[in-house]
Structure 1
Amino acid sequence: MSSYESIIFISREVLIYQIPPLRSSRGYCASEWDVDKPLWRGRLRVLEVADDAAATRVRCELRLEDNNSGELFASAPYLLTGKGVEQVTDSSRFFVMRVVDGDRHAYLGMGFMERSEAFDFNIALQDFKRHANPSAEIIPGSGPQKKEEVKDYSLKEGQTITISLGKGTRRRRSPNTTSENAGSNPGALPFLPPPPSAQEVKDQFRTVAHATEDNDDFGDFVS
């Protein structure tokens, strides 16, 4: 079965370190390394590898190679879960990679000469994850959209709402409850009539004024 390789990132020079075992759950710290004495230095290539022509199986691999001869020093697979490469907690230029040789594996420190290269390296790994696992992205407008169900929260006939007033509990009548049912329920709250309008108040005054204008001295002041 043939495979196809595509370079998604390359750095002409990285520094590789032998690092102490992980001592804390917080992660690796580059300050604990002897950064002035690298174990190896050379080229890093990050490859996207398709195991078949249809590219249905895509994987990512980090390869450390000699700058002159191209001889492979070590390789590290990078998984979609992010396993295989980890950034240290105290620097943006240093990483820890899990190199694999058959059934054996080891953890090596890796440092970039420039922060911009470390940034581009991080971006290349993120781009691979998005490309290799497109189902993890939610694209607006793609696929069938489930119509949101509209719920009816209005009161149905005979339903009541329980509300708390002070120490006791009272039941509020639904609008469809008749006055007869309210009389049978002494705990029901009565509905107060709406206040009269301004026009109704004037009409009442006029009625009283006309009825009493012959006997009431104040009738002359009613307009």
Structure 2
Amino acid sequence: MPEESWKPPLVMVAVDIVILTLRASKLHVLLVERGIEPYLGELALPGGFLNNTEEDVLAAAHRELREEANLHGTRPHLEQLGAYGTPGRDPRGRIISVAYLAIAPSLPEPVAGTDAAGACWEPVAGILSGGMKLAFDHHQILADGVERARAKLEYTSLATAFCGETFTISELQQVYEAVWGVELDLRNFYRKVQGVAGFIAPVSTDRRTTKGRPARLFRAGGRTVLYPPLVRPNPLVADEEEQ
């Protein structure tokens, strides 16, 4: 084909964000109710097109965090998850979505963006089990985001991104249980966490959580890669491994 006859394909770029947080000790994801076609009235991950040809993809992700999750003045963990460009994934045309994974603790009630009719936090477990349908290919993007978080909890300090500035060992354990979907023995978990140098660091102030002794508080340590890793148990044999 002569070079002068070649025309670049018309491709649009969007960003979609898997925003995870813990609510009532369960893993939740932010969803929006679409206020426009396609998929009018259906639930989807928050996201949108780049504003213009000058907007960077990462800048667009930060903008969507502000608009869709009301994350003003908050610095969530944010990392690129992947690119999704299967033909036909969007009925509006050839659209490639760059997906991001965002994690932060104690996120506020969501505020619907400009093209959304509503926004809500939904438990991840019910969605991934097939109990809820998402627009576009967002079920796959969500599944990929959750698996990324599950895997990184094993060998990085990502779990502390779900916690506040200070936290107890019990609260950190709740993160692992919620994301992995298993129950862990507290004594065994405490021993494993304490065995990873630099993962968490004690702080001087204790918080009284019960009528008994105050719970010891910790903060994120300086280490980002965990060694030895905290290996994710198989849910079917988790009880046996924790004994």
| Superposition TM-score, scaled by structure 1 size | 0.23
| Bigger Rg, structure 1 or 2 | 1
Larger helix share, 1 or 2? 2
**Greater RCO, CA 8 A, separation 6+:** 2
The structure in which a higher percent of residues are strand is: 1
